[in-house]
Amino acid sequence: MSDRFNDTISLQETDDKDEARFLRVDKVKFQGCKFTEGELYEIKRYYGNELVFGNTGEMFVIDDDGKENYSALLLCKTTLYK
């Protein structure tokens, strides 16, 4: 997946989930989780539930099966980038 991103993009680590644009999977914690360790995934946002997530939206990434995965931060050790 990381080959889809331009290598000239300069990314900076961040702890702020709201400003993050990419997520790197450092370690998959649970078997069956459809992510590849070391890969960079683009963060997307779902804005359908404003009561819970406000104007920042719910964060998700497209996993290796091509499905929306809203639990990457729970299932994997990750690093966020802006």
Q: With 0-12 CB in 10 A as exposed, 13-18 as middle and 19+ as buried, what is 61? A: buried
pTM: 0.80
Q: What is the mean pLDDT of residues 51-79?
A: 90
Q: How does strand 68-69 pair with strand 13-14?
A: unpaired
Indicate whether 1 pLDDT > 50: no
Is a pLDDT exceeding 70 seen at residue 5? no
